[in-house]
Amino acid sequence: MKLKKNIATSEAGFIFNPATGDSFAANPLAADILARAKAGQDAAAIKADILERYDVAPGQLEKDWDDLLAQLREFNLLD
């Protein structure tokens, strides 16, 4: 997952794409993932941490991860 460099994320879970003017609200888990991605953590580390902390099966997380990527792509937030 590589977010576009100029994407702004806020503590409250807001995401702003300066190239398009679009704003987004992330739910807490999505906000957490994006913050870590922006900080340079790789996907495997983020996922491992989520599996550690949350009540979710690995298969479900993989599926939802792909769906999040699809959303980020759809919203033009990925490089």
Binding interface with other proteins (CB under 8 A): 10, 12-16, 21-30, 32-33, 53-56, 60, 64-65, 67-68, 70-72, 74-75
* Minimal distance, residue 40 CB to other proteins, in Å: 18
Q: Provide the CA 7 distance to its chain's centre, in angstroms.
A: 12
Which is closer to other proteins, CB of 12 or CB of 40?
A: 12
Orientation angle between helical segments 43-53 and 28-38, nearest 10 degrees: 140
* Minimal distance, residue 68 CB to other proteins, in Å: 5
**HSE on the CB side for 65, CA within 13 Å?**
19
